[in-house]
Chains A and B, each alone.
Chain A
């Protein structure tokens, strides 16, 4: 079992839909990161969380430390949100999930 598991692996949505990507982890962490990777592009950090909830524009990230679970939500999704979303946890090292490929169709 991977230390960081994401679901779903692939997600296709219509423009405007509300999207949720989930991340569960099994190790002790100091922080959880949500990252975005566009095709052929670099990786950018969206959020770093150690508790509670954060919001940037249409993106919301939540974490439940007791349940070892985090979610990334995208409200009013848009085709430009199409990317791979990666969950990573930092404990003794950084451990990455396998990523969720999101495709938002117009």
Chain B
């Protein structure tokens, strides 16, 4: 596609359920980032993929969060046993690689945990 695509755009779930958020980066972009933004807050780093290298998972807030990137393209962020504090907009961004290129952001997935 022409841009970074994220799905779903909105997700409402009950506390304790698992959710999966998907990011489809721009074709050819090797760097992919996941961030989240809580209401009125700044961007919080979650995880970063660069090509075939081991991902930088240092921003994941707990072991309930995991992410994978299959075939160097699509990425899935999984949150297990969701909590109310997980409610946020989850943003994905990609760029050509770690050191090059503009950042392109998806529209985000708004997660609401009831």
A residues sitting closer than 8 Å to B (CB atoms) are 30-31, 33, 35, 42-45, 48, 86, 88, 90, 92-99
Contact = CB atoms under 8 A, between A and B. Distances in A.
Contact of B102 (A48, A86, A94, A99): A48
Contacts of A94: 33, 45, 48, 93, 103
Contacts of A35: 103, 105
Given A30-B99, A92-B56, A94-B103, 12 more contacts: A30-B98, A33-B102, A35-B103, A35-B105, A43-B93, A43-B105, A44-B105, A86-B43, A88-B103, A93-B48, A94-B33, A98-B42
Nearest first, the 8 A-B pairs at minimum CB distance are A43-B105, A96-B43, A98-B42, A45-B102, A42-B107, A30-B99, A45-B103, A48-B102
A45 B99 contact: no
A56 B102 CA distance: 15
Contacts, number: 47
Nearest to A41: B107
A22 B105 CA distance: 22
B91 interface: yes
Contacts of B104: 45
B45 A97 contact: no
Contacts of A97: 42
A93 B45 contact: yes
B45 A95 contact: yes
Contacts of B58: 93
A44 B91 CA distance: 12
13 contacts: A33-B103, A35-B103, A42-B106, A43-B91, A43-B105, A45-B102, A88-B43, A90-B99, A93-B56, A96-B35, A96-B42, A96-B43, A98-B42
B25 interface: no
Given A90-B98, A93-B48, A94-B48, A48 B42 contact: no
Contacts of A93: 33, 45, 48, 56, 58
